[in-house]
Chain A
């Protein structure tokens, strides 16, 4: 019965030794028993028996002692079957009492958690996540929490919350429970890749945002519960585990590797080039990857880029398409920040280029989303826009893992179809972004911190190289720490964005109001003064 199972001893250093050795005084004791036994047997049974029997006894004893010293079992060790252990389940007696005697081996076993889960859990310790969390739980509020943190690490747009709120007050209820929409329209199962009416509304919105330079076909859209899932889904569709994507760095601190198993090969961009992408560097990275035996499946670009904020011009886009065609790979273009230029430079969507030229459409995929453009707080809505039938077909099925809830879809349909609201919103949003962007950049300039000329209205890429005490990631980390814990301003250090040059920081200003800016600058000044005096 189970009661005869031997209790495993707690782990001792010796018990970690190789399974074939015996710890403690085992061997000596065993010999003391066996040798005389051997002699006895030899006297009667002859040489063979005299050797075999004691050897067998010796091995049995070794086995027994090994069992006694065995530590808590690992998941991979099969339980040794003792001859006394009976088959079948224990009798159905009162559970609580028998618990302690049943399967003592199992109660010491740690249930295995996958390697993937462990590596995901480890990544929480990067500055990006630490900063995000800290600033989110103790946010600055002019009246209620003047010593709180300023959240400059999250590219979320709060500038037009008032407009959105007004619209919601006036229209939200009707968009969900009113008019022709029956309860089954929002409560029951809907197509997982989004309602067609929403796709039509989103296609129209995207086109308007990009100043009608490109038009989008609703049936080529897949809607997902957020841009993150859109990118992840595309990665699953275009690359198998172990394949790779080329990504110009610095790039967004959010990871897509976790479940897809794809490798990210950074293609470093340098401050001397204004952090713009060079096809030479792309080519070099591609060749090196091939030498290492990695299969590159595509390039992931952000346009405008994150965190720098550069726009890719027409020429670069053509070169990228040429490069992709030559090497037979895909391009994923994350255009989630399209249309929010801080400067008046023109945004060019890859879709526009595809429309006009004769490139292979099957290798171009756009990711879009609504959480930035429409600053609908917490509305995750991502869009995969592709010409590739296989990608569309696979992505559509994968949306079972990331579909948008029907009430939100109806809310969005209503909002995006309200052309007056949309026009007003886009215009006001641009104005406010432009204003906040210039004020913030000017404020930093006064502190001696220059920013790369940015075309993405949500953040700026600040040059704090002269403020770090040692020109290294360590120095950058120290500055980040001071900014977070002394100035109580959360910015994203370049290392979290995989920037090869230390000292650059991404500062998102769209969660600030104009009144906040002087306060932020004052706080940063405190730290920058200290750093100045040290260097």
Chain B
């Protein structure tokens, strides 16, 4: 009689979290700061969630949500809806989503609803694309630093590897094609098949926006090596600082060739502040990918009531326009306040143009100047200052000392508190004068 064993893949997934990214998130859920109930709790700066504009969502819902949205339509409509909602996504939602994506990206490009596959969040969208574009053992090139979640999204179940392409502060962490080429060639020498590039734009955790030129260069590179590009554009609407966001879809519009190798991931968790709704999308021109993705959608579909709820919300273009503009202003002012606060402590941030976070340079505060030193500072910040930030090592940053600080879960009045807490730790880290 033996022990009922789980699979080896389950064993490795079930292991306790070892990345500071997840450990920090766990700590916050155990001991979350609350102004009244738990003033000494851990303040969350490690989750890129936007709470700045929830009031606008709440207003819309209380004005517009009614029963007919959730359970409406006659029986015949229901018959179609049943199948469609979970197998393909409601058509009206795809239309509304395509319109919203276009609006978010400044109407510089239009999206075709029939090229959309809706999933329960951007997380399964990334996973599905990995299944479709790569076989087990193949790899994607990914610029570092990158969002820690990609390690799970790409590696856990698909068997696809991630090959980091390191970006440096001297380049403002902008991806260089030379580095990409080097990484590609090294992979080939090792016998590893590279199937594509996975990038986030606006980038996470740095917050930079790729220029049009870089996008063209990336497309050239992909064409030359005959690989795919997966562009995670989930922060496209959360931009500030005046730079315009350019989607990969926009540069493809003017170039007819090679649309089959470009795939865009989007979702409502960041730009529309609705991570709880679990809404993501794959946008592709590749018929094979679309067909396979639609089949896989049934493992991660958005429930029909939520789909029905979103149709009027996304179609209310007056609301969405007002929301997008107000939200951007709020992110901008929060960013300004937070970055100014950090500067008071002598901590500078990399130039950010988008995202819900800033990329803080704490290199001078770590001792020794390596990953160990960085983790020690992270630990102090988490356990002494009781602030959860994400250390660069969790994002595979090659330079130690950088930290991602998400500021959109805070309200303005909390910033002085946060800065004060960080100050306490910073004081202990400064070199003796």
List chain A positions with a Cβ less than 8 A from chain B.
Answer: 73, 75-76, 78-79, 89-90, 92, 95-96, 99, 102-103, 105-107, 109-118, 120-121, 123-124, 132, 136-137, 139, 141, 144-145, 151, 154, 156, 158, 161, 164-165, 168-170, 172-173, 176-177, 183-190, 225-226, 228-229, 232, 236-241, 243, 254, 258-259, 297, 325, 328-330, 360, 362-363, 376-381, 388, 390-391, 393-394, 397-398, 400-408, 411, 511
Contacts and interface: CB of A to CB of B under 8 A. Distances in A.
Given A297-B7, A378-B303, A407-B305, A183 B54 contact: yes
Cβ-closest 5 pairs across A and B: A378-B304, A168-B71, A406-B276, A363-B4, A378-B85
A114 to B, nearest CB: 5
26 contacts: A107-B258, A111-B228, A114-B133, A114-B134, A117-B289, A121-B288, A139-B79, A156-B82, A173-B65, A173-B67, A189-B275, A237-B7, A237-B10, A238-B6, A328-B3, A362-B3, A377-B78, A381-B303, A390-B14, A393-B14, A394-B11, A400-B123, A403-B120, A404-B278, A405-B302, A406-B277
A176 B61 contact: yes
Given A151-B79, A172-B71, A92 B10 contact: no
Interface in B23-64: 47, 49, 51, 54-55, 57-58, 61-62
A417 to B, nearest CB: 17
B140 interface: no
A458 B195 CA distance: 45
B86 A378 contact: yes
Contacts, number: 306
Interface stretch (B103-111, B293-301, B321-329): B293-301
A377 B81 contact: yes
A244 B106 CA distance: 50
B318 interface: no
Contacts of B286: 111, 113
A190 B14 contact: no
Of B5, B10, B13, the most chain A CB neighbours within 10 A belong to B10
Contact of B82 (A226, A377, A390, A405): A377
A158 B78 contact: yes
B7 A240 contact: yes
A243 B303 CA distance: 32
Contacts of A240: 7-9
Contact of A405 (B2, B11, B277): B277
B248 interface: no
Nearest to B68: A169
Interface residues of B, number: 104
A378 B277 contact: no
Nearest to A175: B70
A114 B132 CA distance: 5
Contacts of A117: 131-133, 288-289, 292
A186 B310 CA distance: 13
A99 B255 contact: yes
Contacts of B269: 189
Contacts of A406: 276-278
Given A226-B298, A377-B78, A121 B292 contact: yes
B83 to A, nearest CB: 4
B121 interface: yes
A522 B298 CA distance: 34
Contacts of B224: 79, 103, 105-106
